[in-house]
């Protein structure tokens, strides 16, 4: 279920001012998309090392953003704050 999936995926640090890490032990992440609160897809740099995604959000403005994380168990949405 979505609640179990949400518990298995962690974001840190949140809020962040540089790199945001997405950790998903036991869950395969296919892709991560970042949207602003107006629903626009945001461009960012993404690194995947051993199923830990790192998002370089240095160029993003200070705001709240929505992550759409596509996994092998379904899609999950989480918010993060860029300081």
Largest CA-CA distance found in the chain, in angstroms, rounded: 34
* Residue 17 in tokens: 């001012």
75 neighbors 54 (Cβ within 8 angstroms): no
Q: What is the pLDDT of residues 3-49, one digit of tens each?
A: 778 888 999 999 999 999 999 888 888 889 999 999 999 978 888 87
Q: What is the pLDDT, as a whole number, of residue 15?
A: 95
Output the pTM of the full model: 0.89
């Amino acid at each position: 279920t979505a609640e179990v999936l949400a518990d298995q995926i962690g974001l840190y640090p949140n809020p962040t001012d540089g790199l945001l890490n997405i950790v998903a032990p036991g869950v395969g992440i296919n892709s991560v998309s970042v949207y602003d609160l107006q629903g626009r897809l945001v461009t960012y740099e993404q690194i995947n090392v051993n199923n830990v995604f790192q998002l370089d959000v240095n160029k993003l403005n200070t705001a709240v953003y929505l992550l759409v994380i596509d996994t092998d168990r379904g899609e999950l949405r989480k918010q993060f704050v860029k300081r």
